[in-house]
Amino acid sequence: MLTVEEITKFISDDESDPKKQRAKEGLRYYEGEHDIRNYKLYYYNADGKIVEDKSRSNIKISHPFFTELVDQCVQYMLSGDDSFVKSDNAELQAELDLYFGDEFKSELADTLTDTCAGGFGYMYGYMNSDMRTSFTYAEQSGVVEVRAKDTDDHTEYVIYWYIDRIEKGKKKVKRIQVWDSKQTTYFCQVDNGKVEKDTSVELNPRPHILYTKKDGTYYDGFGFIPFFRLDANKKQTSHLKPVKEIIDDYDLMSCGLSNNIQDVSEAVWVVKGFQGDNLEEMIQNVKTKKHIGVEPDGDVDIKTISIPYEARKIKMETDEKNIYRFGMGFNSAQLGDGNVTNVVIKSRYALLDLKCNKLESRLKAFLRKLVKIALNEINKIKGTDYQPKDVYFEFNREVMTNATDNATIEFTKAQADQVRMTTLLNAASLLDNETVLKEICAILDVDFGEVKDKIPKQPATDLNDASEKLANVVPQEGGDDGGGESV
C-alpha cells in the first residue's frame, strides 16, 4: 500500500509531467483560453528601457477553432443513432444495450473530448445498484498511473483525485482515491496541507464491490484496476499540435486589425488660423455646432489614416483555410460554386473521415477491453458462454446530404427496380415460382425466408408419363381417323 508521502510525491510529479502539461494546454485551448490572453505591448522609453505600453489598444480575442475541431471529431464519430456495440445474437444484443446504451455514449463523448483535446482520456468501472458494471468518465488531469518501474507497462496503482468543494475562507478540499486490484483507499487534503485518511468514509479501505443482503454484507474486488485509457495516437499528443501556431497567428492578425481600428477610430483635424480662445472651445464646436471659426487666411483640413487591412484579411483567410486543412476538419463556411452535390459534400468530409478512421481503430481496441468485462458478467449472471468474437463494432457516421440529390437517386433507383421487375415478370412463365419470388424479394428488399412457405406447391412432373404422351401424339389433319390419341 502507498504511504501518504508517496501519494503526495506521485501527485506532485504527475502535475509537472511534460505529457500532462501538453494535455493541459490542449484542454485550455479547447476552453477558448488562447495564448493571446497573455499578449502585451512594449516600447522603449527615453532611457532606452523596455516598458509595457498601456496607452495603446490591446484587444485580446480568442477564436475557438480548436473547440470546433474537437467537437466535430467527437460528434461525427458518435453521430449514428444505433448502438455501435453490436451482436447478431438478439439476446446478447439486449444484454449489451444495458451496458453500452445512451448513458455510456454520453460518458464516452466526454472521454473522447479529453482524448482529442489532451491526447488521452480515461473511463473507470464501478458496480451500480443493479449489480452490473457501469463505465463512466474520469477527468484526465486527476488520474495518476503508478508503475512498479518506469519501463513497466503494468499499472500497480491508480491515484484519482478531484476537488470536492471549496469551504468557507476559500479552502480547497481535495479528495484522493488510491485504487489497486482489490480495494480503494480514500484520503483528503485541505489546500496544500498534509494528505490524511478520509474519516468521512465508513469502510476505508473499501473493496471495489460492496453489497448487502438479508443474510449479511458481501464484498469482492474486480481483480484488476478498473481504469481504462484511450490514446489519441502512439505518442499521446493532442490534436492541437499541428494547428496551434496557425490559430495563434490568426488571433494575432485579427486582434491587430481590431487594435488598428480602435487606435485610429477618429479623424485628425488640422486647423490653421483658429478664431477662438482655446482648443476645448474648438472641440466643443466640432461636436455640437459642426463648425469652426478661423481667421481670413485660416483653413481646416481633415486627415484620415488608411488602415492596411487587405494584407491582414488575406492572411486571416489563409490561416483559416490551413486550420481546417491541417486540423483535418470540416469547414462549414467554405464557399462552393453553387453546385453543392453529395459528391462535393462528401469530398469536404474527406479529411474529417480520415482523422476519425485513425481514431476509430484505437477506439475499437479500447471498447474491446470493456466488452470483455461485460461478457464475463453476462455469462456469470445468465449462465451463458458468450465470447468476444460474438461482438463487433460498427460506427455509422452521418454526413449531411443534398435533399435534391437524394430524391434524384431514389427516383433513378425506383425506375431501375421497375425495369427489373417488368423483365422478371415477362420471364416468369419460364421459371419456377420459388425462383421468381426470390428475385422479387431481392428487388423489394423483403426477407425471402419469411414468405417462401407461402409459395403454392407445383405438382412434380412425371417424365415417363410425359414421354408416353408425346409418343402417342398423332397430327390432326382433316379429322380423327381413329388411329391414335388426339392431343
pLDDT at 209: 81
Q: Which residue has the higher pLDDT, 282 or 49?
A: 49
Residue 337 has pLDDT above 60, yes or no: no
Least confident stretch, 270-284, 442-456, 459-473: 459-473
Determine the Cα–Cα distance for residues 275 and 269; give it in Å rounded to an integer: 15
pLDDT at 96: 93
Q: What is the dihedral of CA 181, 183, 185, 186, to 10 degrees?
A: 110
DSSP 485: B
pLDDT at 198: 86
Mean pLDDT of 51-58: 83
pLDDT at 82: 80
| DSSP result, 261-329 | HHHT-SPEEEEEEE-SS-HHHHHHIIIIIS---EEEEEEEEEE-----HHHHHHHHHHHHHHHHHHTT-
Least confident stretch, 39-43, 322-326, 336-340: 336-340
DSSP 38: G
Least confident stretch, 34-48, 244-258, 409-423: 409-423
Closest Cα to residue 57, out of 33, 43, 41, 37?
Answer: 41
Residues 6+ apart with CB under 8 A from 181: 221, 222, 223, 224, 225
Residue 430 has pLDDT above 80, yes or no: no
Q: Is the dihedral of CA 376, 381, 386, 392 positive or negative?
A: negative
pLDDT level of residue 482 (50, 70, 90 thresholds): very low
pLDDT at 282: 67
List C-alpha distances in Å: 24 to 9, 15, 237, 284, 455.
20, 10, 11, 53, 67
Closest Cα to residue 269, out of 292, 246, 247, 248?
Answer: 292
Phi, then psi, of 174 in degrees rounded to 5: -100, 125
pLDDT at 484: 47
Please give the grid coordinates belonging to residue 120.
Answer: 488521452
What digits encode the pLDDT tens for the residues 347-358? 788 899 899 999
Amino acid present at 465: D
Residue 486 has pLDDT above 80, yes or no: no
Q: Which residue has the higher pLDDT, 468 or 181?
A: 181
Q: Is the dihedral of CA 281, 284, 289, 292 positive or negative?
A: positive
What digits encode the pLDDT tens for the residues 84-105? 999 999 999 999 999 999 899 9
Phi, then psi, of 173 in degrees rounded to 5: -105, 115
What digits encode the pLDDT tens for the residues 9-19? 998 999 889 99
User: Is the Cβ–Cβ distance between 204 and 185 less than 8 Å?
Assistant: yes
Helix 90-99, helix 350-382: angle, nearest 10 = 100
| DSSP result, 406-448 | HHHHHHHHHHHHHHHHHHHHHTGGGS-HHHHHHHHHHHHT--H
Determine the Cα–Cα distance for residues 258 and 313; give it in Å rounded to an integer: 12
What digits encode the pLDDT tens for the residues 213-222? 666 666 777 8
pLDDT level of residue 455 (50, 70, 90 thresholds): low
Q: Which residue has the higher pLDDT, 466 or 130?
A: 130
3-class state of residue 166 by DSSP: strand
pLDDT at 333: 77
What digits encode the pLDDT tens for the residues 343-401? 667 778 889 989 999 999 999 999 999 999 999 999 998 899 999 999 999 988 876 55
Q: For the chain, what is the mean pLDDT? A: 81
List C-alpha distances in Å: 249 to 35, 238, 244, 442.
10, 19, 9, 57
What digits encode the pLDDT tens for the residues 238-252? 999 999 999 999 999
pLDDT level of residue 419 (50, 70, 90 thresholds): confident
Phi, then psi, of 425 in degrees rounded to 5: -70, -35
Phi, then psi, of 370 in degrees rounded to 5: -70, -35
Residue 487 has pLDDT above 90, yes or no: no
pLDDT at 463: 47
Provide the β-strand partners of residue 159.
Answer: 144, 178
List C-alpha distances in Å: 243 to 86, 248, 347, 447.
36, 9, 21, 50
List C-alpha distances in Å: 404 to 54, 56, 322, 407.
57, 53, 31, 5
Cell match 469530398: residue?
347
